[in-house]
């Protein structure tokens, strides 16, 4: 199977499409202007929309996965409490990690079209950002941002006349946990979604240096359906 440049971009192994958003964050260059427009809309209502995380490479996602699999980085349960990984078998470990972290090659953060936001106007300068759902719920510092996103983004998903953004992880099913902070830019993200191919991604995982590989491959079809394929 020969890999195309778009498959390299899909899987976080090509940076040609990126531009700097800040000194710690890169995004797809076609996202810079629409995101600046979104930030401007936010400023009009007192929000200071800040990007916590944008593009993430395959290598970075592989490191996150492997350190979680080895118990070197905390793995949280659905309530956000740390799990005792040594008590889980390999299959349980795989599904515990998948609740909060994508397999390398399958993260929407590989695309440069997706990013995590918070509101710098709502917290002190030394605030330690958690990206925890409590922060975005009623009573949390970013609840105003969340309510604003419901009106500006969730009510008009993919609408280029409005913002062009949507939130892919707002509903809690049996897959990825809700991530109210995660935004996608539809014109780019929908293109990448269409490139997702179960067999090609499975092949990439099989070829990689990933922990828990046997358990991942044994449950591949379930993993693809629950955590990778977009079902809308
Ligand atoms: Zn995210």
Domains and their CATH numbers in the chain: 5-228 (3.30.1380.10)
Query: Are the C-beta atoms of 190 and 196 separated by less than 8 Å?
Result: no
| Ligand 1 center–CA 218 separation, angstroms | 26
Quick check: 3 pLDDT over 80? no
Q: In the prediction, which pLDDT does 2 show?
A: 58
Highest mean pLDDT range out of 75-79, 152-156, 177-181?
152-156
Express each pLDDT in 119-156 by its tens digit: 999 999 999 999 988 999 999 999 999 999 999 999 99
Q: Are 228 and 201 in contact (CB under 8 A)?
A: yes
| C-alpha of residue 100 to centroid of ligand 1, in Å | 10
Q: What is the pLDDT of residue 186?
A: 96
CA of 84 relative to ligand 1 center, distance in Å:
24
Residues, CB-to-ion distance under 5 Å, ligand 1: 116, 182
Residue 123 CA to ligand 1 centre (angstroms): 20
119 CA to centre of ligand 1 in angstroms:
15
Segment 203-219 shows an average pLDDT of: 98
Residues 6+ apart with CB under 8 A from 2: none
């Amino acid at each position: 199977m020969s890999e195309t440049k778009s498959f390299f971009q899909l899987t976080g192994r090509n940076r040609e499409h990126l531009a700097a958003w800040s000194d710690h964050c890169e995004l797809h260059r076609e996202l810079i202007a629409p995101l600046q427009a979104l930030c401007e809309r936010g400023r009009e209502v007192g929000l200071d929309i800040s990007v916590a995380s944008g593009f993430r490479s395959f290598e970075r996602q592989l490191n996150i996965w492997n350190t979680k699999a080895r118990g070197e980085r905390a793995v949280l349960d659905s309530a956000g409490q740390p799990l005792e990984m040594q008590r889980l078998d390999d299959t349980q470990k795989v599904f515990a990690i998948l609740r909060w972290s994508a397999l390398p090659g399958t993260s929407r953060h590989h695309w440069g079209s997706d990013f995590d936001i918070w509101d710098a106007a709502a917290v002190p300068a030394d605030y330690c950002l958690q990206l925890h759902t409590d922060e975005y719920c009623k009573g949390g510092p970013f609840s105003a941002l969340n309510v604003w996103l419901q009106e500006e983004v969730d009510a008009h998903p993919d609408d280029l006349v409005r913002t062009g953004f949507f939130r892919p992880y707002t509903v809690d099913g049996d897959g990825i946990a809700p991530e109210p902070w995660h935004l996608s830019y539809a014109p780019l993200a929908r293109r990448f979604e269409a490139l997702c191919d179960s067999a090609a991604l499975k092949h990439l995982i099989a070829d990689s240096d990933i922990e828990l590989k046997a358990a991942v491959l044994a449950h591949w079809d379930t993993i693809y359906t629950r955590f990778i394929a977009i079902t809308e």
